[in-house]
Amino acid sequence: MSLTQPPLPETPPFLAWFQAHGGQIDLAAIDIVAFPAAEGGRGVVARVDIPEGQAVFAVPRALVLSTRTSALRARFGVKEWAAARLHEGWSGLILCMMWEEARGGASEWAGYFEILPTKFDTPMFWDAADLAELQGTAVVDKLGREQAEKDYAEKVRPAIESRPDLFDPAEVEARYSLAVYHLQGSRILSRSFTLQKDADEDEDEDAGAGDTSVGSAMDVEADAPAPAEEAHGEHDEDEEGSEDSDEEEDAVVVAMVPLADMLNARYQSENVKLFYEPECLKMIATKPIKAGEQIWNTYQDLPNSELLRGFGHVDWLPLPGGGHGNPGDVAEMRADVLVKAGAAPADVEARIDWWLEEGGDDVFVLELQEDGTAELPEDLLAFTQLLADDTAWARARDKGRMPKPVASAPALRVLHAALGARLGAYATTLAEDTARAAAGMGEMRTNARHALVVRMGEKRVLEAHRTRVGALLSALEGGGKRKAEAQAGGGKRGRR
C-alpha cells in the first residue's frame, strides 16, 4: 500500500528565510503548529512516520547566532571587547542580539528575529503580587535580575555609549534599553544551545569566566552516534569550579540555533537531539516518531521551578504515587537553614569554612526516587553530621576527609527541624495547595496557577523527606539503631 502524503502548505516566511540561508528541512516530514500557550505554544509535529536515525532538519553553522558569527565583536575590536569584559557570561551575546535586531533587514538573522518571542511569562517579568505566590520557592532567589542589571549598567551600557558609530545614539532607548536587554536575555535563557568551540577559537572568546547566569536551555553531549556528534541536552554543574570544568567551559559557546529552538520539551518525552557535523548541526530522531506526534527536544528533564524560571511553563503529569505534577521536581535546602535548626556549635563558622574548602556545597538538593519515595542525599547527611556531632567534626578535620553520611540521632533531629522550617517558609501548606488545585485550576490566572504547581512540587519533596527522617528518628529512639542506619544508607549526592 502506498503512503499518501498530506499536501504541503505554503512555505511560511521564516522557513523561506531558513532555506534561503542554507537551512535544510523536509517539509513533507514535519510541520510547525500553533499549540495553546499552556502546552508550550508553537511547536513541531511529524507529518509522516519518521524512523529512528532520520535527520529532521539541518542548520548550517553560519546560521547559528553567537558572538563568533555576528560581525559586532570584530567591528568593536577583539581587544576592546575583552577589555569591556563582554566575553564574560552572556553580556556579549545579548549585545550582539540587540545590535543584530536593530539592523533590521541588514542583519543576516532578520528572518529569525521576526519569529522570536517578544513577551515572556517567566517570573523575571512578574509583578510583586505574582512573585508573592512564589514565596518559599527556589525561584525568586534565582531570577538573576539584580546581577543582570549590574552587568547592563557596568558593561553593556558603557560599551554602547563608547561606540556611537556602531550604536546609533538616537536608537539607544528603543533598541538598547534595559528592557530590551532583559528580553534578549530571556530569549537566550529559554532558547539557546551550548555548542563546542572550534579548535582555533580565540582563548578569550565567549569564555565562561565571571558567568553568574544559569545554563542555557540545551547543551551538547560528548557521546556521538556516527556520523554526527550529539549536541548536549544536559547541563552538568556537579563539578562546577573544578579545573576540568573550567577547561570544558572554555571549550563551549552559548548560541541561538534557528528552528532547533522551536521544538517544545516535556519530561522524559525527548525523541530528537541535535548533533554536530563538520558544516552543520542536524536534528536527528532518537526513536521512531509517528505521524501526528509532536517532536520533542530536551530541557534536561528539569523540575518545575526551573521550567517556570527559564521557560514560563510547568509540567503537570501523572505521578507514581498518585496526583499530578512533575516527576523531576526537587527542593533545595540551604546550609544556613540547617545551622539555624540545631544548637549551633561555637565553632560553626570554622566547620562551614572547612566544608566549603573541601569542595562541599552550601545548597543541598532533595529529590524523589522513581517510585516517589525519599532517600536522604549523602552530602546532606555528611554536612548535618559535621554540624551535630563534635566527634565526627574532629575526625573529619584531623583526617582531611568528609564525615561519613551517617543518619545519627543528633543529625536526624537537626534535619527534621530544618525540614519543618523549610516547609514553614511557604505562605500555605501542601494540603491547602492541593485543595486549591482540586477546586479548579482552570479558573486561576496563569501566573498563580504556575506558582501553585511549583509550590506543590517542592512541598511534596520536602514532606516526603521529613516523613522519612521522622521514621528513621523513631526507629533510632525506639532502640532500632542498626535498622535505622541501614535504612538510611545508599543515599546519593544531591544534584545541583
Residue 11 has pLDDT above 70, yes or no: no
| 317-488 maps to CATH 3.90.1420.10 | yes
Domain extent listing, the chain: 62-311, 317-488
Residue 467 has pLDDT above 90, yes or no: yes
Cα–Cα distance, 26 to 30 (Å, whole number): 7
Cα–Cα distance, 461 to 471 (Å, whole number): 16
Topology of 62-311 in CATH?
set domain protein methyltransferase, domain 1 (3.90.1410)
Residue 220 has pLDDT above 50, yes or no: no
The band of 187, judged by pLDDT with boundaries at 50, 70 and 90, is: very high
The band of 33, judged by pLDDT with boundaries at 50, 70 and 90, is: confident
Maximum CA extent, the chain: 80
Number of H helices, E strands in the chain: 20, 15
Look up the pTM and report it. Answer: 0.79
Cα–Cα distance, 415 to 407 (Å, whole number): 10
Pairing of strands 272-276, 324-325: unpaired
Cα–Cα distance, 214 to 149 (Å, whole number): 15
Task: Give the mean pLDDT of 240-259.
Answer: 60
- Can you give the pLDDT at residue 251? 59
> Collapsing DSSP states into helix, strand and coil, what is residue 391?
helix
What are the angstrom distances between the C-alpha of 270 and each of 4, 289, 401?
A: 27, 10, 40
E strand or H helix at 253, and its extent?
Answer: strand 252-255
Cα–Cα distance, 453 to 308 (Å, whole number): 10
What is the phi/psi pair of residue 84, to 5°?
Answer: -80, 0
**Tens digit of pLDDT for each residue in 394-406?**
999 999 999 999 9
Residue 289 has pLDDT above 50, yes or no: yes
Cα–Cα distance, 398 to 357 (Å, whole number): 14
Q: Which residue has the higher pLDDT, 139 or 233?
A: 139
Report yes or no: 94 and 212 within 8 Å, Cβ to Cβ: no
Residue 167 has pLDDT above 50, yes or no: yes
> Collapsing DSSP states into helix, strand and coil, what is residue 332?
strand
**Tens digit of pLDDT for each residue in 62-83?**
999 999 999 999 999 999 999 9
**Tens digit of pLDDT for each residue in 402-439?**
999 999 999 999 999 999 999 999 999 999 999 999 99
**Strands of the 24-25 sheet, one edge to the other:** 24-25, 55-60, 280-285, 272-276, 229-231
Cis peptide before 227 (omega within 30 of 0): yes
- Can you give the pLDDT at residue 143? 86
